[in-house]
Amino acid sequence: MEESQKELSRRNFLELVAVGAAGAAVSGLSLPSAFSAASKTANPKTAIPKKGGTLKIGVPWLIQRPDPLRYGGAWARIHMAFLYEGLTTPNSQAMRNLMLKKKGGAAMVDVQPMLASNWEIEKGGTRYVFHLKKGIKFHNGKEFDSGDVEWCWKRIQDPVHQSHARKFLTLFLKSTETPDKYTVIANLSQPYGAFLMANSWPHTPILPKDSIPQGKLWGETYEPPIPGPPGTGPFKLAAFQQKAEAVLESHRDYRIPGLPHLDRVVLKVISEPGPQTMAVRAGDIDYATQVDMEWVSKVMTGKEFYTVQSLEKEGLGIYTTGGQPFTIYLNCHPEKGNSPFKDEGVRKALDLCLDRAKIAKTLWGNMAVPTSQGFDLKASPWAFPDIRYPEQNIPKAKQLMKEAGYANGVDINRKWINCWMSWPPRMFLRKGDKFLKKWSSGYRRRLTGSRIYQSWGLESGTRN
């Protein structure tokens, strides 16, 4: 049963790509995504995919260097999803929403088989035996076998290779075995419930054995003859320019017969949601993985989320997944100097000044929902409806300030920084006064912006 579920979700992904509706598959950002309506009347569930053609996708970034064993996270996964596969695959957001709706959170399954056909968990959770699918070909023609899995595990485990998944995958990995060509065994030092997820393609994509020399880093201490390491995914990397685009060509020996339908996929770097939205509306790209929230809040008025919606006037389709949580931390640093925030009442007063609904609407439009947790109540089994935030209460905030000895108010200097994407804090600085200037509990604010730039451990710093 697990195998059929896995194949169906992967096939649905590729069929949706073929008709220009690959919403959940390539949008790992949980943001609304828009795509050109290749056929306005076609039903993605029943339409017959067309063979051939090129799909142009707008992405905010590409993997830093095309080595999926070294780099992970949001930068890498859009790139990796087309090229690489793991022993397991996480259930898509669409599949999770379906499970949650039909069976509830208790029935949620995190992963499905991918390159593994099945597995057994033995010895109280300390021994994982994976049985591999047969006849799978890498992009370079090599047949996939247990030696490739063992090599990937050991490469990730060696700290010299600086793998993003080293701790997640190998923290409890004690030894490995390959009793035959299609069986690989992991012996752990203690039970580890995340081991199946750690072997999914976003964390442990399988490359052919010795495709990167021992101790070498792709594109740094090793200059490869090809754009990127071979994988087993439906597409292979034909060209790569990290700040511009990646060109992916179909893998004609892909393990699912008849797929992929497309000849080529081009991932074009358009870092901001506004320009990406303009590009898909103008027809310069076929699919946008992030769209401008002000625009989407207008076109989605009265429309249902979590389903593909047709925008007839635009000639576009749009798919909204579970919301991306953006957290604004008001770090008060009560331990520094003579900070007024040493007083708990002052901190509580600041909390009571916030009109969270107005903040959400001002920054992200009508689709934004204020929340006190990082999970979507409509889509996540981890969300708790009883966790609430305090409503704005200016009179109570004033009283707390008076009790703390600040009846005449206090001056504060806020510096807004960001370490992931640059546009949320810029929006905050541009629009923040709409809700900050109306505070009347005694806070006088001065806002300045500072942007942190970061390259996932390679370099970090700040720019004012």
The pLDDT value given to residue 27: 26
Q: Which fold has domain 340-463?
A: Dipeptide-binding Protein; domain 3 (3.10.105)
| E strands present in 224-315 | 235-241, 245-250, 264-269, 287-288, 308-311
In order of 208, 384, 417, 447, the CA distances from 327 in angstroms are 40, 17, 12, 18
Residue 120, token pair as written in the block: 């057994």
Q: At 245, give phi and psi (nearest 5°).
A: -165, 160
Contact 280, 286 (CB under 8 A): yes
The pLDDT value given to residue 409: 83
The model's pTM: 0.72
| E strands present in 39-165 | 54-59, 88-90, 111-113, 116-122, 127-132
Q: Where are the alpha helices (DSSP H) in 269-326?
A: 273-282, 293-299
Chunked into runs of 10 residues, the chain (464 residues) has average pLDDT values of 36 34 26 53 65 93 92 84 96 72 70 96 97 98 98 97 96 98 98 96 96 95 95 97 96 95 96 92 91 81 77 82 68 79 90 86 75 73 79 93 89 64 49 49 52 34 32
